């Protein structure tokens, strides 16, 4: 069985970060990267069994993911958001294709389930970004922007990732296609809790830069 490290990028999620850690299997190494939160995220994470790393200032999700990967000891890295939209109970399903030798990278797909709960606006934006990425990758990824994913650590470490923000998810897929990694989408449950999009104009520009110019 492959060793699994769960990496949780965390920013201002004091109320949920400990719950995510608690719901991860005791068999997993769990690493929380507090990305310069202004609330009690760091203190809440420190009360759990997780290894906690803190950025002194907000560096972005991509940097938090890379920081977590450097501290991880597992054969497989699992990235999951700290707001409980994704369920830690789905991690074994995400890791299974890698353990069984079918995949190098798996994506927790919010669009592959029998009845997707993705709100219409998010579904439309995800469709546009996934469509653009399909042209670059020459293959279809239904939910390219899902932050819930697993990857062999050796494969992740070989990727020349530079994005500090949300574009890292796009960058990972472009590098995976370039390196001919086996990618599999896995249906997962999702719990939408409302609130605005996290993406800014800068994130959109970074996405376009990755799609048009990234070379792994």
- For the chain, the domain total comes to 1
Residue 114: per-residue pLDDT: 44
Q: How confident is the model over 44-55, as a mean pLDDT?
A: 99
pLDDT at 29 over 70: yes
Q: What does the DSSP 8-state code read for residue 110?
A: S
pLDDT of residue 167: 85
User: Residue 37 sits in a domain of what CATH number?
Assistant: 3.90.550.10
Q: 48, 13 in Cβ contact below 8 A?
A: no
Question: Which phi and psi (to 5°) does residue 49 adopt?
Answer: -80, -5
Average of pLDDT values for 46-68?
Answer: 98
Please write the tens of the pLDDT for every residue from 172-209.
Answer: 998 998 899 999 999 998 887 655 445 567 666 666 66
Q: Per-residue pLDDT tens for 111-143?
A: 655 445 555 556 656 666 766 676 666 677 878
Residues 6+ apart with CB under 8 A from 124: none
pLDDT of 118 = 56
Instruction: Give the C-alpha separation, 211 to 207, whole Å.
Output: 6
119 and 159 Cβ atoms separated by less than 8 Å:
no
Position 215 pLDDT exceeds 70: no
27-36, 92-101, 121-130, 157-166: least confident range: 121-130
Output the pLDDT for position 71: 98
The mean pLDDT of the chain is 87
What range does the domain containing 106 cover? 4-213
With left for phi above 0 and alpha for psi between -120 and 50, is residue 5 left, alpha or beta? beta
């Amino acid at each position: 069985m492959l060793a699994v490290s769960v990496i949780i990028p965390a920013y201002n999620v004091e109320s949920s970060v400990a719950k995510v850690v608690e719901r991860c299997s005791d068999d997993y190494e769990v690493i929380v990267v507090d990305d310069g939160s202004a609330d009690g995220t760091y203190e809440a994470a420190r009360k759990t069994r997780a290894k906690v790393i803190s950025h002194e200032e907000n560096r972005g999700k991509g940097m938090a993911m890379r920081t977590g990967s450097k501290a991880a000891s597992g054969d497989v890295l699992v990235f999951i958001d700290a707001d409980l939209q994704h369920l830690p109970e789905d991690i074994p399903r995400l890791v299974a294709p890698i353990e069984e030798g079918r995949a190098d990278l798996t994506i927790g797909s919010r669009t592959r389930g029998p009845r997707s709960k993705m709100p219409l606006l998010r579904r439309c934006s995800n469709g546009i970004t996934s469509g653009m990425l399909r042209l670059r990758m020459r293959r279809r990824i239904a939910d390219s922007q899902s932050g819930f994913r697993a990857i062999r650590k050796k494969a992740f470490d070989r990727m020349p990732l530079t994005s500090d923000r949300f574009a890292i998810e796009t960058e990972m897929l472009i590098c995976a296609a370039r390196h001919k990694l086996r990618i599999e989408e896995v249906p997962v449950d999702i719990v939408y809790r409302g609130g605005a999009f996290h993406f800014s104009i800068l994130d959109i520009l970074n996405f376009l830069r990755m799609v048009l110019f990234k070379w792994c």
